[in-house]
Structure 1
Amino acid sequence: MSKLNQTLLGMWIISLAVLVFVVMNLDNESEIHVVEGQMNHTVENATNNTSKAPTQVAEPEIVIEPEPEPEPVNKKETVRLAMIGDVLLHYRLAQYKDFTSSFASVAPLMQSYDYLIANQESPPVGNKYALSGYPQFSSPPHILRDIQQAGVDLVTIANNHTVDKGEGGVRTFFENLDAQNMPYVGAYKNQEDKNVHRIIELGSIKIGMLAYTYGTNGLYLPKGSPFIINYIDESRIKADVEAIRNEVDVLAVSMHWGSEYVYGENDYQRHYAKVLNDAGADIVFGTHPHVLQPYKKWVSEAQHETHVFYSLGNFFSTILTVPNSMIGGIASMEITKEGDNVTIGSPRLDATSVLKDADGIYRVYPLKDVEARSVKNLEWVKKVVGSEVSVY
């Protein structure tokens, strides 16, 4: 055989061997695969892999659901707003060097309310004007200190004795209020002072406060005076209520009105009670008659409720010619706020009595503790203020 034929035969045998090899390894062909990122794979890798690679199963995606927002919790808050009647120091009281003893027995009760207002009727200007009683009063300034220590948080100074000592007396009044850091309402240093709304904040509850008087005994501030006295006027009241109403949850108003020494309200008081009710006031505390008068609840056509204590009587005063003027009371209303809902209710009167003790000092007592000594008892008070009020 020639070398050429031998070469061709050898090549044919090699080709046949390769063909046989390929046929025998067709079942392993699926084992040759390309993994992304690898560039070199050899037949050796395929021939050495005698078992199928395990199938890769993608891990399931874990979805974390956000926790639901908690339902808003409406915090419930309840406070009691209260006011005492006239603090009117006749000359025998104006001479006291300290009033702590006079309020000692009633101070725990005064401090039990969340906020307490007083009608400081006699001007505390005795540091610049001679002490005096009726008809034009000048009281010692330390009455402010002592009622504050006893529990009073704010005084209304819109009453018929505010201008007893003229413009200078009004100026001194404000100086002494500032010296004692005593908040006030009803008379103002100037228009800027009046424009500052008196808003009492007790927790989340906001209480607005206004005050007015029927007059000032024919005495008036001179023209050009910066001082302002809030006189009862229908258009003024409506404007003042409108200005503050949307800023507060509750609006309380002190009204110095009514007939002296009369145990029932008059037409003037009823008219302005309706004005206040229609305007949007919630609570009205009345002063000036020097004796107790009834409580009434007014409901407007729009179903707005206004709680009216027509007169709180005297808190600390000695009108000896009218013995029943020694009986007064601390009137209060309970205010509850839950979310945006505000309710006002539970009218209450804690009756008080002014008595002269054996040492000659006049003191204020809770009436329930001294009924045997007082000119009137709790049953009499209940008849005057009415059955809608809880009397203690």
Structure 2
Amino acid sequence: MNTLNKFLLALWGVSLTILVVVVLTVGQDHSILVAEGQMNITSEEPMEEQQEREIPAKEVIEPEPKPEPENIKETVRFAMAGDVLLHLRLAQYKDFASSFAAVTPIMQSYDYLIANQESPPVGNKYALSGFPQFSSPPHIIRDIQNAGVDMVTIANNHIVDKGEGGVRTFFENLDEYKMPYVGAYKNQEDLSTHRIIEIGSIKIGMLAYTYGTNGLYLPKGSPFIINYIDEAKIKADIDALKQEADVVAVSIHWGPEYVYSENDYQKHYASVLNEAGAHIVFGTHPHVLQPYKKLVSGQGHETHVFYSLGNFFSTILTVPNTMIGGIASLEITKDDEHISIQHPELRATSVLKDADGIYRVYPLKDVEQRSVQNLKWVKKIMGEDVAVY
């Protein structure tokens, strides 16, 4: 073999070696790529089954059940005090805080307290005066409010004592102290604004009426409106208020003065109120206490009637028993949508003149020895169906 053939044979051997190395290297890299998942190798397993095997099914989460609605049960004590009628000896007081100090804790214990502001508080524009046409200092509003009164009823026979100007001044002074009122109104819009007292979840609609205004009337064209007792109006007012309120309460100025029991006129309108759907009736005007009665209509509707609350702060010295009055109250409970009214009470009060010459209101139970009457006398008038303290 010559030299050239030897060279070609050697070259062929080297090439064969390189080829083998390359093939082995490619095969090794192919294995590595497959192992590392970098090559897309077609599997004999169908794609759908492969995905089903590789991707776990999502867990089904059941929705949480909605909580049962909470049953709301709430109880409030709703109250009204009798007449605030300032004769001239009282109208001259520069401050009434002392006169109410002994009963302020009681007054403030109620969830809502109304009072009959009978003498117009217009003394800032009219001379102070007493019977028969009253003018009281405006700060009586401030001081009964500080003592615990939340609203005043102004439907009574003295609202027009100082004419249309006096009524205007009355409203100005109520606004000055931001005292809510019911029974007389600035205009038609004010009348159309229902008095809905909201205490928690309980809504109490409030109305007020008077038998008259001592023969004095607002002039024609006056914007001011006074609620007089009228059967058709009472029924319409209560019907409208029942659409918005859980309870309808009415303050009504009626009945003969200085008489300790209700008359036929009062009984008739109490029946009207009951049939119309009123739940609570607070009577004023007689200046002495009259009984509590619960009326039940033919449809089973109950109405709690306090025929007269007497005087709360007044000095009709010629009739001593007018110095005894009280605060009437009822317990209103709302259990879900069911309303119940129970536990009628009267906290008897007595107006007394102290050694310093100041007249003050006291819980009767604390001053029976000094008062013209005692709790036993009050209980006899009020009847057995009301608790008297």
* TM tier, smaller: 0.7 to 0.9
After TM superposition, give the deviation of residue 65 of structure 1 in Å.
2.4
- Choose the corresponding residue for 1:212, options 188, 209, 223: 209
Counterpart residue type for residue 202 of structure 1:
I
Residues 307-318 of structure 1 correspond to what in structure 2 (within 5 A)? 307-318=304-315
Paired residue secondary structure (1:336): strand
Residue 253 of structure 1 corresponds to which residue in structure 2?
250
Q: 1:306 to 1:58 in 2, by over 3 A?
A: same
- Work out whether 1:341 is the aligned partner of 2:346: no
Q: 1:40 to 1:84 in 2, by over 3 A?
A: closer
Residue 10 of structure 2 corresponds to which residue in structure 1?
none
After TM superposition, give the deviation of residue 59 of structure 1 in Å.
6.0
**Percent sequence identity over matched residues?**
78
Residue 130 of structure 2 corresponds to which residue in structure 1?
133
Residue 229 of structure 1 corresponds to which residue in structure 2?
226
- Work out whether 1:89 is the aligned partner of 2:98: no
Residues 152-171 of structure 1 correspond to what in structure 2 (within 5 A)? 152-171=149-168
Residue 390 of structure 1 corresponds to which residue in structure 2?
387
After TM superposition, give the deviation of residue 240 of structure 1 in Å.
0.9
CA distance in 1, matches of 2:88, 2:40: 110
After TM superposition, give the deviation of residue 74 of structure 1 in Å.
1.0
Counterpart residue type for residue 275 of structure 1:
V
Q: 1:40 to 1:139 in 2, by over 3 A?
A: closer
Residue 259 of structure 2 corresponds to which residue in structure 1?
262
Counterpart residue type for residue 290 of structure 2:
Q
Paired residue secondary structure (2:173): helix
Paired residue secondary structure (1:321): coil
Counterpart residue type for residue 300 of structure 1:
S
Where structure 1 has 5 or more consecutive residues not aligned to the other structure, the ranges are 1-36, 43-54
Residues 1-392 of structure 1 correspond to what in structure 2 (within 5 A)? 40=42, 62-392=59-389
After TM superposition, give the deviation of residue 56 of structure 1 in Å.
6.1
Where structure 2 has 5 or more consecutive residues not aligned to the other structure, the ranges are 1-38, 45-51
Residue 12 of structure 2 corresponds to which residue in structure 1?
none
Q: 1:134 to 1:63 in 2, by over 3 A?
A: same
Paired residue secondary structure (1:272): helix
After TM superposition, give the deviation of residue 339 of structure 1 in Å.
1.1
CA distance in 2, matches of 1:89, 1:40: 106
Paired residue secondary structure (2:308): coil
TM-score, scaled to structure 1: 0.85
Q: 1:331 to 1:38 in 2, by over 3 A?
A: same
Aligned-pair Cα RMSD in Å: 1.8
CA distance in 1, matches of 2:240, 2:56: 66
CA distance in 2, matches of 1:56, 1:224: 91
After TM superposition, give the deviation of residue 288 of structure 1 in Å.
0.2
After TM superposition, give the deviation of residue 310 of structure 1 in Å.
0.2
Paired residue secondary structure (1:137): coil
Residue 25 of structure 1 corresponds to which residue in structure 2?
none
After TM superposition, give the deviation of residue 39 of structure 1 in Å.
6.0
CA distance in 2, matches of 1:173, 1:85: 19
Residues 138-190 of structure 1: CA deviation (Å, up to 9, x unaligned): 10111001000000000000000000111111111111111111110000011
CA distance in 2, matches of 1:40, 1:271: 100
After TM superposition, give the deviation of residue 63 of structure 1 in Å.
3.1
TM-score, scaled to structure 2: 0.86
Counterpart residue type for residue 123 of structure 1:
P
Counterpart residue type for residue 222 of structure 2:
S
Paired residue total: 345
Which stretch of structure 1 is more off in the superposition, 250-259 or 69-78?
69-78
CA distance in 2, matches of 1:96, 1:289: 25
Counterpart residue type for residue 355 of structure 1:
L
After TM superposition, give the deviation of residue 73 of structure 1 in Å.
1.2
Paired residue secondary structure (2:309): coil
After TM superposition, give the deviation of residue 68 of structure 1 in Å.
2.0
Residue 15 of structure 2 corresponds to which residue in structure 1?
none
CA distance in 2, matches of 1:122, 1:224: 24
Residue 9 of structure 2 corresponds to which residue in structure 1?
none
After TM superposition, give the deviation of residue 38 of structure 1 in Å.
6.3
Residue 30 of structure 1 corresponds to which residue in structure 2?
none
CA distance in 1, matches of 2:349, 2:137: 23
Residue 26 of structure 1 corresponds to which residue in structure 2?
none
